[in-house]
Amino acid sequence: MTARGFATNIRLGLVAGLVLLGFGVLAARLVQLHVVDREHYLAQIQNSRHDIVSVIARRGDIYDTRRDILATSQTEITLAVDPWAVSKKIEFQRTPAQRERLAAKEREKRAKLASELGISVVEIEAFFTPTWRDLPVAQDTRDEAADGRVRVEWKKLREGVSEEAFARIEAMHVTGLTADRSYRRVYPHNELAAHLIGFLNKEGAASGGVESFADLYLSGHDGWREVERDARRTELAQFRNREVAPSDGWGVVLSIDTAIQHIIEQELAFIVSSFKPGKATIIVSDARSGFLLGLANYPTFNLNAYGDAPLDVQRNIAATDLIEPGSTFKIVAASGALNEGLVTPSTKFDCTLASILYQGRERKFMRDDHHFDHALAVSEIISHSSNNGAAQLAMRLGDRRFYDYARAFGFGERTGFPIGHEEPGMLADPAKWSVPDITRIPAGYSVAATPLQVHYAMSSIASGGSLMRPQLIRQILDAQGEVVYSFKPAARRVVIAPATAESMAAMLQKVASEEGTAKVAAIPGFEVAGKTGTAQKLIGGRYSERNHVGSFVGFFPASRPRVVITVVVDDGHPADGRIAYGATVAAPSFRKIAEQLIQYLDIKPVASPLPVPIAGKLLAHNKGARP
């Protein structure tokens, strides 16, 4: 054999060896893929093709007592485009003619879509034109990105498409068009009852009000479906495997009435414009059940633009902010002394005294706004709002028993109001009282309470002696709107006997009379029972002569109570420079609200009433409604 032939054989042998080696490596790799790592790679393929898609549940609605919607979830459909889907579909056509016919048909569909969306054909075609976007090479994970570009496979076309419009669009069968459903929380009445309703924040979490308190009922449970996707991650509907439908949230029916809420918010706006207070609150409840009919605070905010409101404005001051209640607190000493049989409405006390010996020590009385030169009966102590007389009634009870009645009326503890991070107030135990406290606390000083506590303390008299639990939710509805639970009135405890409550109601009527401190609260033909309150504000650690909290708390008709109304005006400033007494800044608003409720709730008079105009056209079709 020649040297040349030998060299050729060597080369052939090397080539054959390399080929065999290559096949060996390939065979080993195939064995690894199909035998050794088969399950691992099958799982990867399955995971890349299969996905779990969440199906969002619709949040339940919030209603007022007449099923007027206060909060609802509106469907929002977002349309998006995969521009490569059209070209992919066209590529599958066998002949150029078929491809052209399909392209023309798709253009026709897109023209209809453009018309539905109110945009030009040029604009719609731009969305459906395949495009690329640059991507840093370091982030490339796919073959098509090898040159630093990736396909743009998702373009947002339109947000907020209605169900009706989407039904028409879906019928067009536009290739490459996808839709994503979501829900947007909407509050049809904007700022109405904002502190009661609450809102959902940008993350969809409930924040404050009923939205937060009743979130368990409202939120529902999301569903899911297992889907299979193609290489472009597009869902293949025909290969859906398992699906669990969402359970929509339940509805919540509140006890408040939007018509009553409008009345009190209109009156609150009048108070703000007239007296420029720092804060103000109006509360209306059913005297018999304790259910809330309306509650409004100033300042307030728009639920649909909650982000524009400072956190301080979002606070429900009726439940969180403390005030010294002033003379509205005098019902405690009077009720307690009557209930214990220590006095009668005609029992008289010497209210000309500057001080008195009590428990071996001299106690100076607080100054009365009006000078009395004669003894006052218990009924006159209430109607004339004597600080001196209230202190003597408390002394008749004694420290501990007076304190126990104050606690029984709900002071110093939370009312149980379900929303608003309620404060318990401040009512010191008698063991911690200073020497003058027995003369100050009965007059509503050296004690702090929320407007809700003051309101429900007066409600105890209106209800016949029971301290009712504040309630805001009346019913729970399932997703089909059927009632699944109704809340009943609940008394926290009995405070005074019914006979005592009746006597107190009779005495409180004199407050809203010619001889009382709030004759402006009187309504001809109706029995109005109530109490004014005026307390100096603590400014810089000292009581101010110019800054006051004025209030009026009352109910009517006194002999058969239907409605309890509280008006609190914090740091009001009458235009004429007068002190912001409760009789000046709060009692007139009580009367105006009561006059409208008389007609709206069809409350019968004890005598022929004068005709009263009703504020707001909302009430025309609701006359005769019941809370």
What is the rounded distance in angstroms from the CA atom of residue 396 to the CA atom of residue 350? 13
Ranges in the chain, pLDDT < 50: 41-42, 45, 48, 140-143, 231-233, 238, 608-627
- Per-residue tokens: 31: 């064995």
Task: For tokens 């949230």, name the residue.
Answer: 249
Quick check: 342 and 312 in contact, CB under 8 A?
no
Quick check: 505 and 558 in contact, CB under 8 A?
yes
Query: What is the DSSP pairing of strand 292-298 with strand 279-286?
Result: antiparallel
* Right CATH for 53-254 from 3.30.2420.10, 3.30.70.3270, 3.40.50.300, 3.90.1310.10: 3.90.1310.10
pLDDT of res. 248: 94
Quick check: 592 and 273 in contact, CB under 8 A?
no
Is the preceding peptide bond at 588 cis, omega within 30 degrees of 0?
no
Task: For tokens 């991070």, name the residue.
Answer: 421
pLDDT of res. 621: 36
Quick check: 323 and 549 in contact, CB under 8 A?
yes
Task: For tokens 């630093």, name the residue.
Answer: 148
pLDDT of res. 332: 99
pLDDT of res. 406: 98
What is the rounded distance in angstroms from the CA atom of residue 74 to the CA atom of residue 186? 7
Does the domain at residues 258-619 carry the CATH identifier 3.40.50.620? no
Quick check: 301 and 593 in contact, CB under 8 A?
no
pLDDT of res. 5: 59
Residues of the chain with CATH 3.40.710.10: 258-619
497-502 contacts at long range (C-beta below 8 A, 24 or more positions apart): 497/339, 497/465, 498/464, 498/465, 500/335, 500/338, 500/339, 500/465, 501/335, 501/460, 501/461, 501/462, 501/463, 501/464, 501/465, 502/464
- Of residues 524, 537, 517, the one with CA closest to residue 586: 517
pLDDT in tens, 519-560: 999 999 999 999 999 999 988 889 999 999 999 999 999 999
The DSSP code sequence of 309-366 is: S-TTTTS-HHHH--B--GGGGHHHHHHHHHHTTS--TT-EE-TT-SEEEETTEEEEPP
CA-CA-CA-CA dihedral for 302, 291, 614, 590, to nearest 10: -90
pLDDT of res. 615: 44
Backbone φ, ψ for residue 578 (5° rounding): -70, 165
Quick check: 268 and 451 in contact, CB under 8 A?
no
Q: Is the dihedral of CA 563, 515, 579, 544 positive or negative?
A: negative
Residues of the chain with CATH 3.90.1310.10: 53-254
Neighbour-count burial for 528-559, b at 16+ CB within 10 Å, e otherwise: bbbbbbbbbbeeeeeeeeebbbbbbbbbbbbe
- Per-residue tokens: 613: 């105009």
